[in-house]
């Protein structure tokens, strides 16, 4: 039996996202073998008035949008006069297919061809997924926006944190109970670290997904038990160390050397992350099990 948005909104949205991922032709590696780029998604929800979004203004910077502020600005621009009492954030993780992770785990300098295409075509698919959900909610008379693909999204050079964005998908995922941060600055979810993620802000009440983790780094072995560090060894750019992720070294490697390497090796012209630190590591496809002697994070 199909559920409705008004009666079971969380289930309706989860089914809509899952169906789009499983059925969309855009979720296919057509340039290789036509197999799906992403496996079944994980979906979570956050209340826009959760104090964590105000905390992000301190943690990330004053330029980071609170979802309520963002939707209210958007409503003002659009002349929308509907009810903005309840605002929620819909979040999803789309895990990268096993075969693609396996192919990247075999690489030592540049990403595999599957990974490179998944990063490029996969984000185009993720944009379509955001548009699909925004459209679906719009059809119900709601006001919805995907911050990442909107005019509210900006990259900012901040004195304290370096390059940062006015909306962080990973921080939205954390707020929606979907995962915690890792040594390499990514998000370890129950389906692992190798994924894309997306969010939509909407004026409706959705039951928030509980954050069951004990702290913001709880899923990473380096922080919860002082072990692992495998991603440090995997990084060809020397951008990872026990101090964490050197964003500047990483982006020079990814946006200069990687692009040139892919042109030479595969004769393709795509902007892609390297993702070597997300494949061939214990957190690639799951939350890694802590050693039995480990203390809580």
Q: What is the DSSP letter of 130?
A: H
Separation between Cα atoms, residue 103 and residue 153, nearest integer Å: 32
Separation between Cα atoms, residue 286 and residue 284, nearest integer Å: 6
CB of 279 to ligand SF4, least distance (A): 9
Report 225-284 residues binding ligand SF4 (CB under 6 A).
228-231, 234-235, 237, 239-240, 245, 250, 253-254, 273-277, 281-283
Report 32-51 residues binding ligand SF4 (CB under 6 A).
none
* By the rule CB under 6 A, 220 interacts with ligand SF4: yes
CB of 121 to ligand SF4, least distance (A): 18
* By the rule CB under 6 A, 116 interacts with ligand SF4: no
> How far is C-alpha 208 from the geometric centre of its chain's CA atoms?
18
Closer to ligand SF4 by Cβ: residue 182 or 199: 182
* By the rule CB under 6 A, 189 interacts with ligand SF4: no
CB of 244 to ligand SF4, least distance (A): 10
List the alpha helices (DSSP H) in 140-245.
169-175, 221-225, 230-234
Strand partners, 197: 93
- Residue environment code for 58-86, b if the CB has 16+ CB neighbours within 10 A, otherwise e: eebbeebbbbbebbbebbeeeeeeeeeee
Contact 202, 137 (CB under 8 A): yes
Q: How far is CA 38 from CA 217, 283, 296, in A?
A: 25, 17, 32
Binding mask 149-188 for ligand SF4 (x = CB under 6 A): ---------------------------------xxx----
Separation between Cα atoms, residue 211 and residue 92, nearest integer Å: 15
CB of 219 to ligand SF4, least distance (A): 7
Closer to ligand SF4 by Cβ: residue 100 or 203: 100
Contacts with ligand SF4 by CB under 6 A lie at 182-184, 220-222, 228-231, 234-235, 237, 239-240, 245, 250, 253-254, 273-277, 281-283, 288
């Amino acid at each position: 039996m199909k559920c409705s948005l008004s009666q079971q909104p969380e289930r309706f949205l989860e089914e809509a996202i899952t169906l789009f991922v499983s059925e969309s032709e855009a979720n296919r590696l057509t340039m290789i073998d036509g197999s799906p780029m992403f496996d079944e998604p994980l979906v979570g929800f956050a209340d826009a008035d959760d104090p964590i979004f105000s905390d992000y203004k301190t943690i990330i910077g004053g330029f980071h949008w609170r979802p309520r502020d963002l939707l209210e600005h958007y409503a003002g621009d659009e002349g929308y006069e509907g009810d903005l009492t309840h605002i929620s954030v819909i979040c999803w993780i789309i895990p990268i297919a096993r075969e693609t992770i396996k192919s990247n785990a075999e690489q030592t300098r540049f990403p595999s061809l599957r990974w490179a295409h998944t990063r490029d075509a996969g984000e185009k698919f993720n944009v379509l997924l955001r548009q699909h959900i925004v459209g679906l909610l719009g059809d119900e008379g709601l006001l919805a926006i995907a911050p990442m693909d909107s005019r509210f999204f900006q990259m900012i050079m901040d004195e304290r944190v370096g390059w940062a964005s006015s909306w962080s998908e990973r921080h939205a995922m954390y707020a929606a109970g979907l995962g915690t941060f890792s040594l390499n600055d990514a998000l370890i979810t129950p389906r692992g670290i190798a994924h894309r993620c997306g969010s939509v802000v909407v004026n409706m009440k959705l039951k928030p997904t509980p954050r069951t983790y004990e702290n913001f780094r709880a899923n990473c072995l380096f922080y919860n038990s002082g072990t692992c560090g495998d991603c440090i060894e995997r990084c060809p750019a020397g951008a990872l160390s026990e101090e964490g992720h050197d964003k500047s070294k990483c982006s020079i490697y990814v946006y200069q050397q990687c692009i040139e390497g892919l042109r030479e090796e595969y004769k393709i012209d795509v902007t892609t992350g390297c993702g070597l630190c997300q494949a061939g590591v214990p957190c690639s496809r799951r939350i890694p099990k802590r050693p039995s002697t480990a203390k809580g994070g």
